[in-house]
């Protein structure tokens, strides 16, 4: 009876649900209008923080019950290795991207319960199988269908589209399968060893190679799996795609060229890393090449690879018309 005498509440809800999804700057107005239409009032602490917890606490408790043990195991396991050190960074970035779009968690659209439940059940089965059999590929990867299914059931396709990159970015948390690592690292190490040998030979160094073992002067250096560049490629791909998302170029050709450049940049950065470590060993000794400088060289070359990607983007700007870009995806706190 009260709703019949107050049709503005239905009109507000209708206006929010019909709002075009192509304007992220409207997230704040959309979320405020949606919360008003649904009877949600901002508390003294401001709009969405406390209301977010109050509205979504059952879902948050369920997700934490599922994945806190997983994160604990990762933090005390593979996240401590050089190959998977990017895992916690990926998780923090994904959570930040979701927080930036938190206004969408109050804007219900036409839901898709059939597809949502199918994805949710599939994700839960993956989680159960991965957790019980200690298969991290399934356990960590189950986050994506679980979250996507939850969004489709509760909020609909609009919220799923708004949070698509945060869900996609979680892919970089998933450890690569062993057969993929084994199949890729062997050829990569071989090519890197050949290029490093040829480069040093051209400059007159006493270098020889046997397989993936380099001999320079009295020292022998094995090009290990960490120097293959596979995990650097994985990490650089994550940072490169995040950069493209944050910049928001509208030209698909420009985006495609930047994505295509990630592989050669990562590969030649690892060639440079091996060259640097060989020269450090040759001039400063084996202890220097295997000590602090070994790890520092990897970090330095990764930073240089990122800078090369940014430099290439700057060069491509001269060949493409400038367009409206955003420095970061506007969230509900944007003005």
Which segment of 91-95, 97-101, 221-225, 324-328 scores lowest on mean pLDDT?
324-328
Residue 227 falls in the annotated catalytic set: yes
SS3 219: strand
The residue that leads in pLDDT, 40 or 299, is: 299
44-71 average pLDDT score? 75
Mean pLDDT of the chain: 80
**Do the Cβ atoms of 135 and 174 come closer than 8 Å?**
no
pLDDT band at 249 (very low <50, low <70, confident <90, very high): confident
Q: Given 227, 254, 326, 333, which residue is catalytic?
A: 227
DSSP string, 15-84: HHHTS-TT-GGGHHHHHHHHHHHTT---BTTBSHHHHHHHHHHHHHHHHHHHHHHHHHHHHTTGGGSSTT
Q: Given 54, 273, 326, 333, which residue is catalytic?
A: 273
Q: Is 189 exposed, middle or buried (0-12, 13-18, 19+ CB in 10 A)?
A: buried
Residue 273 falls in the annotated catalytic set: yes
Task: Name the pTM for this structure.
Answer: 0.72
DSSP state of 209: E
pLDDT for 3 equals 44
Task: Read off the tokens for 17.
Answer: 């649900």
Q: What is the pLDDT of residues 95-143, one digit of tens each?
A: 999 988 888 777 767 888 899 999 999 999 999 999 999 999 999 999 9
SS3 110: coil
Pairing mode, strands 219-222 and 213-216 = antiparallel
pLDDT for 32 equals 46
Which segment of 29-43, 264-278, 287-301 scores lowest on mean pLDDT?
29-43
130-158 average pLDDT score? 93
């Amino acid at each position: 009876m009260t709703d019949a005498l107050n049709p503005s509440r239905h009109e507000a809800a209708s206006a929010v649900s019909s709002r075009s999804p192509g304007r992220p700057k409207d997230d704040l107005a959309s979320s405020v209008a949606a919360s008003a239409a649904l009877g949600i009032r901002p508390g003294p602490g401001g709009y969405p923080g406390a209301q977010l917890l109050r509205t979504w606490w059952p879902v948050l408790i369920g997700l934490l019950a599922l994945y806190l043990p997983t994160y604990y195991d990762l933090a005390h396991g593979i996240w401590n290795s050089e190959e998977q050190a990017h895992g916690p960074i990926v998780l923090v970035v994904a959570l930040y991207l979701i927080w930036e779009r938190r206004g969408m968690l109050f804007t219900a659209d036409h839901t898709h319960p059939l597809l949502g439940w199918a994805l949710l059940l599939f994700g839960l089965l993956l989680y159960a199988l991965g957790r019980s059999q200690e298969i991290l590929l399934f356990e960590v990867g189950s986050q994506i269908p679980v979250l996507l299914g939850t969004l489709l059931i509760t909020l609909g396709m609009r919220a799923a589209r708004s949070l698509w990159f945060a869900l996609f970015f979680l892919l970089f948390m998933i450890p690569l399968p062993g057969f993929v690592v084994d199949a890729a690292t062997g050829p990569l190490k071989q090519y890197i060893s050949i290029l490093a040998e040829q480069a040093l030979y051209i400059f007159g160094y006493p270098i020889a190679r046997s397989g993936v073992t380099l001999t320079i002067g009295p020292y022998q250096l094995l090009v290990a799996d960490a120097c293959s560049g596979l995990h650097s490629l994985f990490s650089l791909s994550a940072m490169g795609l995040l950069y493209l998302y944050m910049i928001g170029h509208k030209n698909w050709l420009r985006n495609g060229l930047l994505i295509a450049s990630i592989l050669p940049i990562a590969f030649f950065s690892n060639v440079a890393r091996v060259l640097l470590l060989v020269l450090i060993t040759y001039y400063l000794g084996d202890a220097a090449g295997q000590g602090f400088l070994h790890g520092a060289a990897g970090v330095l070359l990764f930073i240089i690879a990122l800078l090369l990607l940014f430099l290439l983007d700057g060069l491509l700007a001269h060949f493409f018309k400038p367009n409206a870009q955003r420095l970061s995806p506007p969230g509900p706190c944007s003005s």
